[in-house]
Structure 1
């Protein structure tokens, strides 16, 4: 692999946006289906073929640069969460002059002051009319596997209620995959309503759901790209249906610490332990290996033969890359 510049952040190109609304003239309109926008006519026409709708040229508000968009007929689309952390969230206030406020919920980052909205309106500041306070803005970068190009598409929502759901979902996935590998998801626009002060308010919320895989599979470690691209395929079905071996039972029945290490290698190849051995199962297997070493009977050192010579000792180096070193006194671990 070649080298990379260390002083810049690496990222893929952004192909376009996934929106839950559009504009008619200067009037914003909510959409019950996805709106795909891009500078690329090819991407938008392909999206129209996949999800319906008529491609058209379009210019965003306050912009003279033309783009392409299609108001699809699909309320849900298939996507991939890519390696790394795909989500960023801020409370933001924008004007024609650009971003006026960007807050992480505690500190307004442009002025370095405590949250201005909470200070003025209290904990329920988000119930204030739009434009008076910040909008809760969540941006999720995903890949659309059925469109050409290896770039990202940005799904954006200003829903206060979607923010916690997106954060919880993405954080659970990252906890299981450590930010490595792809995860198949469905982005679905779901109608919601809330009753406040006797009034019923209806609004759309974007829901992020696992697609074609179970929570057990998604949280057990990074899955292969082949499974993520085709979660309903034979490889994914085999991965879901195959029972997980009882590695601890296999290690306890092992005759030597080397056999325990072989069990750990099997678990590593199956993706059931962390390659660096930092997970709980690896630690238990390391403890069992040390116990097997301690139980090993040390053979007496042979003396010299009749000519005064000692038998040569052959030391095999079986160190396995990835098996964590265990420095336990009396364990007999080899270096």
Structure 2
């Protein structure tokens, strides 16, 4: 059993960063340094070996690095990715404080009411704080062979308001949740001109409803009595898992997303994960090269489909995606739709059906919805 009055925490392997410090010379000849955003994640760690694994997975080269605040020398890797497969811990995934630093030393750490370094009331003017909002995100990198967490620190407003609600929901899971740590660029129009900056994001491979039901995608498989984990089978580390969600977002048409959807389904992705891909597909345009203009009085339904549209026979994928979309409001899963289609078409599966047969089935589904 653990010692009751000691707080346990997992080892911090390093930091994941979305910026770095650059130096230059002003027009007046004065040397300066300033922070600058990055488009891909940067990793720092005291361990060269761990960063070598990071570089092998996510690109970049390990090189020496000395912190600007005079801390101990470490190593760094400028990766080539802006999206990382992670495990999100159920507790303390995200923490926030108002903090004030002098060099590398924290002078104040406040929750907005109490300054905890000296156990006194908050000293800042709420309208003009001396302290900066500091948001910390702790994650495990799913594919890096090292046991511990990685820290990402952000002092931005959007990270402060967007990440904590996600962490509070994840805390209800009671276990590690598989997800993705990403970054996205924000553009804000200010009086002095537009400002662009990077904001960290957390995505999970599960719907909120499934999460609240305890369907944790990051939980390890149970091992029954007498069984041994197949450690021998994992001698060669696997590469990063395929990110179907990212592929769907980058796809140009519904047909492309459908192919990604089918691949995720065949790979055994959770139903909730498949539903996220489906939702992305609904926001994509259908292939238009073989689609004549719709009648002027045609009105798209809530799925974005026009009843009067005519789709060429070589666009069966687009029709099938419309079928999946139309079945959603009826509470039908993809498997149920495939079974219903086969039942109505003498056992023929949708994958081998003609465009005309698929259109008939789509019309029947829409008739049921109306």
TM-score, normalised by the number of residues in structure 1: 0.60
1:115 positional shift: 3.2
**More contact order relative to length (CA 8 Å, sep ≥ 6):** 1
1:142 corresponds to which residue?
139
1:14 corresponds to which residue?
12
- Out of 107, 116, 119, the position equivalent to 2:114 is 107
Is contact 1:166-1:207 (8 Å) kept?
A: yes
1:215 corresponds to which residue?
208
Say which one has the larger Rg: 1
1:153 corresponds to which residue?
150
CA offset digits 1:145-194 (Å, max 9, x no partner): 1111111111111112211111111112223x1xx111112111111022
Q: Does 1:237 align with 2:237?
A: no
1:305 corresponds to which residue?
none
Is contact 2:40-2:82 (8 Å) kept?
A: yes
Alpha-carbon spacing, 1:64–1:154, altered in 2? closer, same or farther (3 Å): closer
Matched residues in 1 for 2:215 and 2:177: separation?
8
Alpha-carbon spacing, 1:24–1:54, altered in 2? closer, same or farther (3 Å): farther
1:255 corresponds to which residue?
none
Matched residues in 2 for 1:139 and 1:31: separation?
18
2:166 corresponds to which residue?
169
1:332 corresponds to which residue?
none
1:109 positional shift: 2.2
1:326 corresponds to which residue?
none
Matched residues in 2 for 1:199 and 1:240: separation?
40
2:363 corresponds to which residue?
none
1:78 corresponds to which residue?
85
Is contact 1:16-1:38 (8 Å) kept?
A: yes
Matched residues in 1 for 2:72 and 2:8: separation?
26
1:64 positional shift: 5.1
Between 145-154 and 79-88, the greater mean CA deviation after superposition: 79-88
TM-score, normalised by the number of residues in structure 2: 0.55
Alpha-carbon spacing, 1:208–1:118, altered in 2? closer, same or farther (3 Å): farther
Is contact 2:185-2:196 (8 Å) kept?
A: yes
Aligned residues: 225
RMSD (Å), alpha carbons: 2.7
2:59 corresponds to which residue?
52
1:36 positional shift: 0.6
Matched residues in 1 for 2:89 and 2:19: separation?
25
Alpha-carbon spacing, 1:160–1:78, altered in 2? closer, same or farther (3 Å): same
Structure 1 gap ranges (5+): 127-132, 242-335
Matched residues in 2 for 1:239 and 1:203: separation?
31
CA offset digits 1:91-136 (Å, max 9, x no partner): 11111261111111222223444433334xx1xx36xxxxxx2121
Q: How does 1:1-335 map to 2 (within 5 A)?
A: 3-24=1-22, 26-63=33-70, 65-96=72-103, 98-119=105-126, 122=127, 125=128, 133-175=130-172, 177=173, 180-197=174-191, 199-210=193-204, 212-223=205-216, 225-226=219-220, 236-237=269-270
- The secondary structure found in structure 2 opposite 1:117 is coil
